[in-house]
Amino acid sequence: MMRIKQRFDQLRSASRKALVPYITAGDPAGNTVEMMHELVRNGADVIELGFPFSDPVADGPVIAKAHLRALSHGVTLNDVFSMVSLFRENDNETPVVLMGYLNPVEIMGYEVFAEKASKAGVDGVLVVDLPPEFADDFVAQIKPKGIDMINLITPTTSDERIKTICSVASGFIYYVSLKGVTGSAKLDISGVQQRVTHIKQFTDMPVGVGFGIRDGESAAAISQAADAVIVGTALVSELAKFDQEGEACMQRVGSRVSEMRNAMDNR
């Protein structure tokens, strides 16, 4: 089932843009599936679920700490698949994209990973440190299962490489809006809009923008050019307060997603 394509087709027909919140699986412990449903109730169109890794080099300190908290809770890749399966018991429509790093995938093995991801109901995978030139064996396992390979384009990616990435990617393109790690700098809205317009010359696939989006205002501005707005650090930083505040921080995450949804729909 190609849920990602279906979702973007539905949004395009409704002249709406996708809101894609990111959370790290297992942070806070035992609440991920509940949080996923809360995101959907507040306007998420696609959920990006990070699978924890000890050295998340592309992530800033906020998300890196979320990875470490999840690992301290003993969360494994198999646990992440179980969370997606449990989510699917009550939601068979919202696409779920796993985002993480190659090491845990290689340890599990590409074939086993693809089989378990498919059975769980995963729709896409973004492996940050697996460039398309080295992804043939992995794509050969996930593509027959109907799982999309999401690829990254950055502000410094050359046109030649954009063509290569667009030729092998599926689902959507993830444009990293700034140089550096997640949550590291202030957005140049005009520059991002120009860059997204440029990328669209090379592909008909939806282009999502992530890194640096913090609130309704920035989400609405980015959505004027992008097909999807991806937000992570602003939400994960709230969930980091779970030990002190409990479910109140989860409700605040829902409120922030709702704020972004409303801002994007009324831009």
Cβ contacts of residue 214 below 8 Å, gap of 6+?
Answer: 231, 233, 234
Instruction: Give me the CATH code for the 3-266 domain, please.
Output: 3.20.20.70
pLDDT in tens, 109-126: 999 999 999 999 999 999
Count CA atoms closer than 13 A to 14's CA, side-chain side: 12
34-90: per-residue pLDDT in tens? 999 999 999 999 999 999 999 888 888 999 999 999 999 999 999 999 999 999 999
Local confidence band at 179 (pLDDT 50, 70, 90 cut-offs): low
pLDDT attached to residue 187:
73
Tell me: pLDDT of 1 over 60: no
pLDDT at 247: 85
In the chain, where the domains are located: 3-266
| pLDDT interval class at 19 (50, 70, 90) | very high
The confidence score (pLDDT) of residue 255 equals 95
* Residue 214: both structure tokens together: 């913090």
pLDDT at 185: 59
Round to the nearest angstrom and report the end-to-end CA distance of the chain. Answer: 32
Q: For residue 171, what pLDDT is reported?
A: 95
Q: Is the pLDDT of residue 181 over 60?
A: no
Q: Indicate the residue type of 146.
A: G
H/E stretch holding 211 reads: none
- The pTM score is 0.94
Classify each residue of 133-158 as buried b or exposed e, where b means 16 or more C-beta atoms within 10 Å of its C-beta: eebeebbebbeeebbbbbbbbeeebe
Please give the backbone phi and psi of residue 181, each rounded to the nearest 5 degrees, phi first: -95, 175
List the 96-100 sheet strands across, edge first. 148-149, 124-127, 96-100, 47-50, 18-24, 228-231, 207-210, 173-176, 151-153
pLDDT tens digits, 99-158:
999 999 999 999 999 999 999 999 999 999 999 989 999 999 999 999 999 999 999 999
Q: Active-site residue numbers?
A: 48, 59
